Amino acid sequence: MTGNLKKYLIGIIAIVALMIAIPAIATAADPPGTITPVAGTTYSGYYDGNTSRYFKVVFKTSGKLVLNARASGNNPLYLHLNVLDSNSNVINNFDGSQEFNDYVIKDGTTYLNKGTYYVELNDDGYWGYYDYNYTIKFGWQSVKESFPEPFGGSNNSFATANTIAVNKAYRGMVPTNGENNDQYDVYKFTIPSPGSRVVIKTSSNTFTDLYLTLYDSKGYKIDSNHLYFDSRSYKATSYAYYLAPGTYYVSYDISSYPYYYGPYDFMIVAPPRSAPTNVKASPISVARGGSSTVSWTKVAGAGKYRVRLYRKTSWGTWGEVYSGDYGDVSSVTLRNLNYRGWYKVFVYAGNSAGWHSPGKWSNSFKVQ
């Protein structure tokens, strides 16, 4: 009995030792010794000149990976980082620059879709194979893409295009090495009757190189333009078209210019063809103490309102005594009114196409 218990305990100890020897953060599919880093944390280690070091990074949404690394030790040495997809294909790589006796990589940036990635550290065999001590710091953040895509993309065709609304801002992203895994971002939008002049606005604060193409509902190309953003002086472009009612597609692609990557912002602007219909104001509180509140019913398509106040003169005519512009509201309190004065109000509804004149006065009201 004692012998069997001893064997059992030895077996348990061996299993526990094996569990400790294998990093808990690695999986069966990970390279041996893989570490899953924490953003903002610096990791230190020793590279033996033969066996690469691997770090696993999981992106739950599209974002930016930033690497800072340093190699120090025997000279000559060399520092090299590869950013790999889950199938070990190289997406991006960085070579260290000499800084006195060290080699450093500063702010090596890679834009990535949702997915699992690895960072491989070695010396690339540039001058043979040399051992060194290293530090590497990981940073990543979301780019807030409107439609976060997995590795390989999810809106690369007319059939998988994301539906967007006009007059609403969106953000897309060109991933690093996208020409080999996510060439296109395709979006679908609709122009209602009777058609409209539209402006496609695109901007970026990073080095981004794109082709913007507009298609009709059958996939025929209407126009195509090369967009280049250098993050400093050339940050926005606009292209105007007159489109009949129907469905259209717009695509952003890097298949022809796979040099710069990152997020981009865009909007399909379709101004209303005319101002909203008229609107009538009505007093909703008795004018007392020199003030009165008036209200109106909001009208479709309006985003702002202009209130014009008129007072009855001693000659029986009406003269304007106040005019003010307001946002998307439905009432306003008018103050500093004269005691026993008679007033009327006009309210104008407006949008980007202009102001629409009111059809009728409000009811007259008297300050008590």
| Domain chopping of the chain, boundaries | 2-142, 162-269, 282-366
Phi/psi at 16 (5° precision): -65, -40
Global confidence as pTM? 0.68
Secondary structure element (H or E) that encloses residue 8, with its range = helix 2-21
Instruction: For the domain made up of 2-142, give the CATH fold.
Output: Jelly Rolls (2.60.120)
pLDDT value of residue 232: 62
Residue 28's pLDDT band (boundaries 50, 70, 90)?
very low
Q: Considering the chain, what is the average pLDDT of its residues?
A: 82
CATH number of 282-366: 2.60.40.10
233 or 134, greater pLDDT:
134
260 or 18, greater pLDDT:
260
CA dihedral 16, 18, 23, 28 (to 10 degrees): -120
342 burial via Cβ count (<10 Å: 0-12, 13-18, 19+):
middle
**Rounded Cα distance, 44 and 134, in Å:** 6
Give residue-wise pLDDT tens across range 185-214: 999 999 987 778 899 999 888 877 888 999
Give residue-wise pLDDT tens across range 308-355: 888 888 888 888 899 999 999 988 988 888 877 888 888 888 877 677
Asked whether the domain spanning 282-366 has the same topology as the one spanning 2-142, the reply is no
pLDDT value of residue 274: 64
Instruction: For the domain made up of 162-269, give the CATH fold.
Output: Jelly Rolls (2.60.120)
The token pair that represents 83 in the structure block: 């950013």
Res. 81: pLDDT tops 90: yes
pLDDT value of residue 21: 29
Q: Which residues contact 70 (CB under 8 A, 6 or more apart)?
A: 79, 96, 102, 103, 104, 105, 134, 135, 136
**Rounded Cα distance, 253 and 274, in Å:** 35
Residue 78's pLDDT band (boundaries 50, 70, 90)?
confident
